Amino acid sequence: MSVDRQLLSGNEAVALAALHCGIALGTGYPGTPSTEILEVFSELGGRAQWAPNEKVAVEVALGAAYAKARALATMKHVGLNVASDPFFTAAYTGISGALIVVSADDPGMASSQNEQDNRWYAAAAGVPMLEPSDSQEAYDFFAEAVRISERWRLPVLFRMTTRVCNSKTLVHPSMPVLPAPGTAFERDIPGRVMIPAYARAAHRRLREKLTQITEWNETSALNRRIAGEKALGLIASGIAYMHAREAAPRASVLKLGLTYPLPMRSIRSFVESVERCVVIEEGDPYLAEAIRAEGLAVESKPPMYRFGELTVGRVRRILARDEAPEPAPPRGKPPSLCPTCPYRPVFQALKDLDCIVAGDIGCYTLGVLPPFEAMDTCVCMGASLGVGLGLRHALPPQEARRVVSVIGDSTFVHSGISGLVEMVYNPPTTGHVVLILDNGTTAMTGRQEHPATGRALDHEPTGKLVIEDLARALGVEQVDVTDPALNPDGFRTLLQDRLASGKTSVVIARRPCLLAAGAIKTYERAAAEKCKEDAE
Amino acid sequence: MDNRVVNVVIAGLGGQGVLLASDILAEAALRAGYEVKKSEVHGMSQRGGFVASDVRFGRAEVFSPMVPEGEADFVVVLAEDQVDAARPFLRPGGQLLTPDWIDGKALSNRRTLNVAMLGALSVSLDFAEAAWREALTKRVPGKYRDVNDKAFAAGREAGLRRRD
Ligand SMILES: Cc1ncc(C[n+]2csc(CCOP(=O)(O)OP(=O)(O)O)c2C)c(N)n1
């Protein structure tokens, strides 16, 4: 056994690679299964920070990459929806340093509201995409992503999935540490200012770069052929490759690492070298459709395998063309609100008052489960505001008055603020009530800091967003701060009153998450001591 | 030992230390000279729901990090009420290790049940004692080490009694 082999998760491997590659700044927003990347990068000594949301993260990373730095932005798959605006046009402007955008997809929705396949984003935006299959590749491919990004001056999409992010596999961290390049501002107005006249040329430049990368990819070591039987050939990428090797150990395999733009000549020669060629991919038929569009006869999986994660068993069934209904996977006890969650009285009040709850995403979404069942909608982060307002506008007044938007503190900062602006700007005739559950942390994803905690990613004190001050400054008519656990009856009465008031109202229910309370006290004590020392 | 991959599933409820147990097992397998992979899903598991973690090791390359359905050689369950949920992972003839193996009185702290169950499992694996010791050192913080060592020993004894 050699000592330099470490068991690392894909996320840990990316963090280590980021350090070794001289990433000058890592930014992102928490989201399973991506969250640990920045946390570990910070622990290893990298400069890492949480942005209020993914769009801001990509913009900050883009700015750093304009300044010739190597920058990293991390997020879960749905985070890229939020960040897609800068992401698309960053492909036009290009960069001067390196910009790696990690998208951690969640096929099977272990902890997500949808199972969208973000490989389409690479094709839609024209951004090169790498897909590692295990932690060693997460480490090695990351360095390759930095090289590609610097060589073609383009952002690179680093697409991982739950099982690549969270599985631990052996890694030889073999890379020499690359010092971060010097930063400088280079003025390039036509290259960086996307007014239509400049953007038209930029789009042509992007397509030209992609043509070059396609050619380069034909011989890149990121794609490999594993020799095997002629009777069966498999094309796979990411975790699907691992399942495929195990399900069909004797098959020939074309393993793709750089999956946008695709090396179609290599794919063609592989397809022609085998008698039966099957594309094994998780999620959408991204590879299969692209390959078929080239007129190549490959088999794709039956539609039923588009849902959920692939497994070795499912790949065996795909190869056997087995479309019989699958046995339900083992299911144990579902997650639930902590028995001592201080927000239980809030859900009790919402239930007692028969509210129509436009909900949001976080631990508190579990208020949808019995015994409360106190949530009526949950779409994406921040949607509680807009959806609640829309319900108010459309429903008859009697019913409209029952509508409450319920949102967590981290989610509010992420994408609730513009909804609050909307409430002030286009108030429903019945008014509206926004209930912010401020438990002092991003509990859902493992208790990360956010701008309203006043602490940075590493829990050190920094500028603090005060939610009630913001709400008042925006022009909300009534703003209350209350502790629902201290006085559940008082909370219910307040909520009832605000619902009947006909005004725009924000109620901040503030009480630290019990799982985070101890750590929060420790951080606060450390900050107070530091303050004292500085004063002395 | 042949080239077969050994499949272990550790299951329980969020907060019981399922992931720590599988981390220790994977580290021990690595130190015993095996190729190893482990896999699990994070996120909702903190909310007290069912959690399962897969550990696979063998002399030859391990491909998928997930134990194929119904192919676990060992299923280790930390919560009595999750045994039925975890049973389908087991292959015919595989071994199911349940928390009632460990006498409540044998543990000074019930939170070390995860490590005790590894002790019970260790009886069926061919890892050297040093591999387990090093893995525990790597994964268990110093101040909890002693109580966990005792739990491992108690679990191992329980495992040996079962075998005899
Ligand atoms: C665009 C997007 N980014 C990230 C996530 C992952 N995520 C879901 S809820 C949430 C924040 C939860 O924090 P908060 O609103 O404070 O509620 P809590 O869990 O603390 O109750 C995060 C990070 C997501 N679903 N969508």
Token pair 């949301």 in the structure block, residue: A53
Nearest ligand 1 atom to the CA of A82 is 1
| Among A163, A327, A446, beta carbon nearest to B39 | A163
What are the tens digits of pLDDT across the range B53-104?
999 999 999 999 999 999 999 999 999 999 999 999 999 999 999 999 998 8
| Assessment of whether the complete model's pTM goes beyond 0.80 | yes
Residue numbers of chain A with a pLDDT score lower than 50: 1-3
Q: Are residues A233 and A181 in the same domain?
A: no
Q: Do A330 and B44 touch (CB under 8 A)?
A: no
Whether A509 maps to a domain, the answer reads: yes
For position B45, what pLDDT does the model report?
A: 56
**Which are the contacts of A100, defined by CB distance < 8 A and separation ≥ 6?**
A18, A23, A70, A71, A72, A73, A142, A145, A146, A149, A155, A156, A158
Which of A303, A319, A335 corresponds to the end of one domain? A319
- Decide if the complex's ipTM is over 0.90: yes
| Among B48, B52, B70, beta carbon nearest to A336 | B48
Q: Are B7 and B71 in contact (CB under 8 A)?
A: yes
CATH code of residue B37: 3.40.920.10
Whether B1 maps to a domain, the answer reads: no
For position A68, what pLDDT does the model report?
A: 97
Q: Are residues A255 and A283 in the same domain?
A: yes
Q: Are residues A309 and A187 in the same domain?
A: no
What are the tens digits of pLDDT across the range A259-302?
999 999 999 999 999 999 999 999 999 999 999 999 999 999 99
DSSP strand pairing (A251-256 vs A70-76): unpaired
Give the structural domain span for A267: 224-319
Give the structural domain span for B49: 6-163
Q: Are residues A248 and A383 in the same domain?
A: no
For position B41, what pLDDT does the model report?
A: 79
Q: Are residues A172 and A312 in the same domain?
A: no
Of the pLDDT bands very low, low, confident and very high (cuts 50, 70, 90), residue B46 is: low
Range of weakest confidence among A131-135, A212-216, B28-32, B107-111: B107-111
Q: Do B30 and A7 touch (CB under 8 A)?
A: yes
Q: Are residues A80 and A193 in the same domain?
A: yes
| Rounded alpha-carbon distances, angstroms, from residue A185 to A23, A195, B117 | 18, 20, 58
Of the pLDDT bands very low, low, confident and very high (cuts 50, 70, 90), residue B43 is: low
| Among A242, A330, A366, beta carbon nearest to B86 | A330
Cα B111 to middle of ligand 1, angstroms: 29
Cα B67 to middle of ligand 1, angstroms: 30
Q: Please give, rounded to a whole number of angstroms, the shortest distance from the CA of B146 to a CA of chain A.
A: 24
Q: Are residues A66 and A171 in the same domain?
A: yes
d(CA B7, CA A488): 49
Dihedrals phi, psi of A298, to nearest 5 degrees: -120, 150
Q: Which of A113, A347, A410, A418 is the best mutation target for the ligand 1 pocket, counting ligand atoms within 8 Å of the beta carbon and taking the most?
A: A410
Which of A217, A232, A257 corresponds to the end of one domain? A217
Q: Which of A380, A412, A442, A515 is the best mutation target for the ligand 1 pocket, counting ligand atoms within 8 Å of the beta carbon and taking the most?
A: A442
Find, in chain A, the residue whose alpha carbon is nearest to that of B26: A7
For range B33-37, the mean pLDDT: 96
Q: How many structural domains comprise chain B?
A: 1
Q: Are residues A303 and A266 in the same domain?
A: yes
Residue numbers in B near A313 (CB within 8 A):
68-70
Whether A138 maps to a domain, the answer reads: yes
For position A202, what pLDDT does the model report?
A: 98
Whether A336 maps to a domain, the answer reads: no
Q: Are residues A355 and A483 in the same domain?
A: yes
